[in-house]
Structure 1
Amino acid sequence: MCSGDLTAFPNVLFYAWRTIETRRLGMRKPRDFDAELKSLEDKAKTLKDRKVRQLGELVIATGADALDIDTLAGGLLDLADAGNVARKDAWRKRGAGFFRGGKDGAPPSAGGEQ
């Protein structure tokens, strides 16, 4: 191969030429930021809707839909405010058992203590 032989690297030369031409002519594909933002907003709305639906399904599956809304809200607030790590860990294990279908995850009775 002699130093003037450019056929040895055709791909490199093509990409280098294309990069130079793109910069010289300013031929970058413009981005449609409005369309991208709308797409992201639609995805976020879809995810939020799915989360709300899944929470509703969880309430029904656990039998918590039999509770009045004030009791359910109070229980959830107590759960969110619980500072005891061991207690939260026990709840987490019980929840995991519920999703696996084990007997540890059976819906609690109305008089059960959490």
Structure 2
Amino acid sequence: MLFVVALLHHTHPLVPYYDSTEWDWLRGSLSTIDRNYGILDTIYYQATNTHVAHHLFTSIPHYHAMEATRAIKPILGEYYRYDGTIFYKSLWSAIKECVYVEEDESKGIYWYNNKP
């Protein structure tokens, strides 16, 4: 399950990847997405749907992660990423749609491509 959660937090068509010319700490930290894990969110103490906050504040205790997520959403605006699709459907989409990354027209930024 840990592999699935890690895969889903870092694999989505909206999550960019950067090469060394474009990467910096903030861009790297925001290269993740919060997900809907349904009942598993309760089991994992909301750690599964607060991953963006975890990347920005790595030492935050899990019991403050939801509070931090609510606080950063309006600040991050369009840079906050969330996918409300239930995890098993998200997993299928990630495997099917996120085959490889392809460089964007602006050099140094890569996006998932679903071409075979």
TM-score (norm: length of structure 2) = 0.24
Q: Which has the higher contact order (CA 8 A, sep 6+)?
A: 2
Rg larger for: 1
Higher strand share: 2
Higher helix share: 1
TM-score (norm: length of structure 1) = 0.25
